[in-house]
Amino acid sequence: FTLTLIHQALFGPSAWHRHYPVAKGSRQSPIDIIPDEARRDSSLGPIFLKYDRCTSLSIANNGHSVVVEFDDSDDRSVIQGGPLDNPYRLKQFHFHWGGKGCEGSEHTVAGVGYASELHLVHWNAVKYTTYEDAATAPDGLAVLGIFLEQGDDHRWLHTITDVLYMVKFKGSATNFKGFNPKCLLPSNLHYWTYLGSLTTPPLHESVIWIVLKEPIVVSEKQLGMFRILQFSGEEEDQRMRMENNFRPPQPLKERISVVVHD
Ligand SMILES: NS(=O)(=O)c1c(F)c(F)c(-n2cc(CC3CCCCC3)nn2)c(F)c1F
Ligand SMILES: [Zn+2]
């Protein structure tokens, strides 16, 4: 327990500003979303997720989260519409979660957190040639955030939780083909949107955030499966269970409040 506290103090969110001064920037993520203060913008239309031809490749433990990577060599799976000027290509998705019974989402809604949060990361391949270039540009990435609420078993999440034992340690990866994240979407795509950043180092202020209002429901048992993952590698003697891998909400600063689309 004390090891975790020391680890947090040295490497956790409060220490990131030492190596990444942008951590105190003007458009950092996540934020606390206050629905009553969200603006309406009639020019803001619905978002469209064209994932039918998506190609998942692998699932990996990168020491921060569990990440499913996609083939982003063409526009086979994109997000478009809403605040986006053009289609953004699906690159990867990953999760953030808490400890047993604790909150674990990154965004909060009127101060209330969810058990977990799924991030589908897309990049602007129309304006930028590589994901890396996009990840450092102000309109380079579009991340779709989906809250996970604790309740009944999720019908499709087991496809992911069943293989987590194969990527228990940092640096491990395995094939993960034929998975379509469409099965992880809630019934409606009403969203809040605002300009923000990566929530982990390098914290680049390159993300157009689209956070869905409706959570999906997953069971405590399924959430517990994420906690078999380790922050540490197989060879490290200090076992560090992967949990509480979320950044707390950051100051809104001079950003206009988020915009809502119902
Ligand atoms: N939580 S989050 O905001 O959805 C989220 C993350 F947590 C990330 F870690 C990344 N991320 C992207 C890279 C590639 C490098 C980004 C910098 C330039 C070289 C490639 N590494 N991590 C990310 F893109 C993202 F959107
Ligand atoms: Zn994330």
Please state, in angstroms and rounded to a whole number, the distance separating the CA atoms of residues 213 and 82.
14
**Atom 10 of ligand 1: nearest residue by CA position:** 198
Ligand 1: residues whose CB is within 6 Å?
119, 121, 132, 135-136, 141, 143, 198-200, 202, 204, 207
Note the pLDDT of residue 157: 98
The reported pLDDT for the residue numbered 239 is: 83
ipTM entry? 0.97
pLDDT tens for the chain, residues 1 to 262:
788 888 889 999 999 999 999 999 999 999 999 999 899 988 899 999 999 999 999 999 999 999 999 999 999 999 999 999 999 999 999 999 999 878 999 999 999 999 999 999 999 999 999 999 999 999 999 999 999 999 999 999 999 999 999 999 999 999 999 999 999 999 999 999 999 999 999 999 999 999 999 999 999 999 999 999 999 998 887 788 999 999 999 999 977 666 787 8
Q: Would you state the pLDDT for residue 3?
A: 80
pLDDT at 63: 95
Give the distance (Å) from ligand 1 centre to CA of residue 132: 9
| Ligand 1 nearest atom to the CA of residue 119, by list position | 4
* Residue numbers annotated as active site: 64
Output the residue whose Cα is nearest ligand 1's atom 3: 198
pTM confidence score: 0.97
Give pLDDT, residue 256. 62
Q: How far is the CA of 199 from the centre of ligand 2 (A)?
A: 6
The 3-state secondary structure of the chain, one letter per residue: CHHHHHHHHHHCHHHHHHHCHHHHCCCCCCCEECHHHCEECCCCCCEEEECCCCCEEEEEECCCCEEEEECCCCCCCEEEECCCCCCEEEEEEEEEECCCCCCCCCCEECCECCCEEEEEEEECCCCCCCHHHHCCCCCCEEEEEEEEEECCCCCCCHHHHCCHHHHCCCCCEEECCCCCHHHHCCCCCCEEEEEECCCCCCCCCCEEEEEECCCEEECHHHHHHHCCCECCCCCCCCCCECCCCCCCCCCCCCCCCCEEEC
Closest atom of ligand 1 to 145 CA is 4
Question: Which of 117, 122, 200, 204 has the most ligand 1 atoms within 8 A of CB, as the residue to mutate?
Answer: 200
What's the pLDDT score for residue 258?
A: 65
**Ligand 2 centroid, distance to 93 Cα (angstroms):** 8
Average pLDDT, the chain: 95
* pLDDT (tens digit per residue) in 15-48: 999 999 999 999 999 999 999 989 998 889 999 9
